[in-house]
Amino acid sequence: MVTRNLLKYSRQIASGIIVFVKLSLNAKLIAYRQMTTDDNLEFVQMHIWRQAIRIRVFFLHNPTNNKPDFDSILLNWYSKCLILGHFNASSNRWGYTATSFIGSIVENLVDSNTIDFIENEENSPTFLFFGRGVSHSDLLLTLPALSDRVHHKLIDSPGSSGHVILLTRIIKLGPSYREPRQTYLNLKKANQTKFDEVLTDF
């Protein structure tokens, strides 16, 4: 299934986000933020239900030299979330020779929150410049609860855009973990006589 969203002419940039979802999955796409004249981040949000568990995926595009504001994503950040997109954020952590100002913002996003950076299986760049080298501008971030369940690999693009296709797969999800409930004594309903008998027998 291909989901396409048409954006208004008031946008600051020309970009496109195309999302492919397996037909057997129940999914809902929401165009959440667009790069209009006064915005500073573009992303869509998709809810995917798998085994009665909802997974929330944010697909984003951050233009070159744009200072992104991730607050709107963090407001909806919970135990089953992923961020996948074109960050345009240079950092030593994902293969660049230096860390840019935007890269330090993304590093701080990871370090200051319960977020893991997931490298693709090939540890390869995600964008190929024509005769000008490569870059790793596309990233996958996730909550630690999903880190060991996410498989992230690259597929060569059939077109000539320079981008490769990011294929993300989440292995089988089990039921949500719940902390054991603490046991409390209800002294109002306690049978003091029976309790005394038990202590005497003991």
Amino acid at 55: I
pTM value is 0.66
With CA atoms as reference, report the closest residue to 57 among 140, 148, 147. Answer: 140
Give pLDDT, residue 26.
82
User: Residue 72 in contact with residue 32, Cβ under 8 Å?
Assistant: yes
d(CA 60, CA 166): 13
Question: What is the structure's pLDDT at 10?
Answer: 43
pLDDT score recorded for residue 11: 47
Please report the pLDDT score of residue 150 as a whole number: 82
pLDDT in tens, the chain (202 residues): 444 444 444 444 445 566 777 777 788 877 766 655 565 677 788 888 877 788 888 888 888 888 888 888 888 787 788 888 888 888 888 878 889 999 999 999 999 988 888 876 566 655 554 455 556 677 888 888 888 888 777 777 665 556 667 777 777 665 544 444 444 455 555 566 765 665 565 5
Q: Which helix (H) or strand (E) holds 15?
A: none
Radius of gyration in angstroms for the set of CA atoms belonging to the chain, rounded to a whole number: 23
DSSP β-ladder status, 165-170 and 150-155: antiparallel
Query: Residues 61, 9, 64, CA angle at the centre, nearest 5°?
Result: 30
> Strand, helix or coil at 151?
strand
* Strand, coil or helix: 100: coil
- Give one DSSP letter per residue of 116-142, joined into a string: EE---TT---SEE-SSS-EE--EEEEE
